[in-house]
Amino acid sequence: MSEVFVTDVLQQEEHLFLVAAQWPRWHVFYGSSPEGYDSALISETLRQATILVAHTQLGVPLSSRFLLPHMEVAKEEVRGPDGGRPADVTLFVRVSGLKSGSRGATSLQVDAQFLVENTVVATASAGARILNENTYERFRRREVMNPQATAVPLPVGISEAVLGCLSSRNVVLGGSSTAGSWVLRVDTSHPIYFDHPIDHVPGALLTEAARQCIRAFVGQADLDVRSYSARFHKLVELTAKTTLSVEHVVQRPDGTTSVGVDFRSAEGELLARVVAIVPRLGDEPVISGVGANYPGK
């Protein structure tokens, strides 16, 4: 239960819910940066809040499966946690686009505002597909081309110092011979990503892989993104080799940089794309050596 951050939910009005959460003062995985609260902690809290609201307020059975095909997170430029005590967080969660079938809710959209001490620290949104057990099993049988495939060997992770990880277990990138490209490293024994049985790579691992990819690319281990937009086109299989690459780098007029990370299968199929905004630190944009690091794709 140590990875459950949401604590309560209360309906404010139709389709608007107040969700309480608490973020720990220290965590072996989630941290903070000069850019405020951890974007990964924000997105995980949104995921949990979405599921909590669906189960407790919308009548979705506990046996249902959730797929989040897209998620957006945007942090405000506020001071991060002081580290002396947990942060009590309030989420205003609005549900829209609710669709239902004969067995209840099948899809919805959530938009959330995160407040700490009455200050907005982030906004986020996500779409959710809700499948009952039978539908999910049919969906997975259709998706998995070779259910007898054995898991690929766990790649050797790159240095945790490069990625700002407190533990080598949190490294989700393996090395690649191609500049600006890495191999996804999926450790199914990881206690946070796989705290419950799951038959595919969770979205939280993919978005963290994109962040680590950007950190390695720009050479800044403590970098957190200011915002990101993630689109998951297909489930990423545990048994397949997946590569990540920096494909889109755009300098923005405000001094920030947009960086895109693509996830592809061994056959080259686009599985997911995460586009993040990297903040300016100091007088120069974070990405100053694009010519040396960017593979020019």
The predicted pLDDT at position 24 comes to 86
Q: What would the mean pLDDT of 110-128 be, rounded to a whole number?
A: 96
Task: Enter the DSSP assignment of 238.
Answer: T
Q: Give Cβ neighbours of residue 144 (< 8 Å, ≥ 6 apart).
A: 237
Q: What would the mean pLDDT of 79-86 be, rounded to a whole number?
A: 76
Q: How many helices (H) and strands (E) does the chain have?
A: 5, 16
Q: Is 19 helix (H, G, I), strand (E, B) or coil?
A: strand
293 CB burial (10 A radius; 0-12, 13-18, 19+)? middle
Average pLDDT value for the chain: 87
CB 120 within 8 A of CB 113: yes
Comparing 247 with 173, which gets the higher pLDDT? Answer: 173
The predicted pLDDT at position 27 comes to 73
Q: What would the mean pLDDT of 104-124 be, rounded to a whole number?
A: 95
CB 9 within 8 A of CB 53: yes
> What confidence category does residue 36 fall into, taking pLDDT thresholds of 50, 70 and 90?
confident
The identity of residue 297, as a single letter, is K
CB 74 within 8 A of CB 227: yes
Closest CA to 287 of 247, 251, 246: 251
pTM beyond 0.95: no
CA distance 74 to 227: 4
Rg of the chain (C-alpha set): 19
101 Rama sector, left if φ>0, alpha if ψ -120 to 50, beta otherwise: beta
Is residue 282 pLDDT above 60, yes or no?
Answer: no
pLDDT digits (tens, 9 = 90+) for 225-241: 999 999 999 999 998 89
Closest CA to 44 of 64, 62, 27, 61: 27
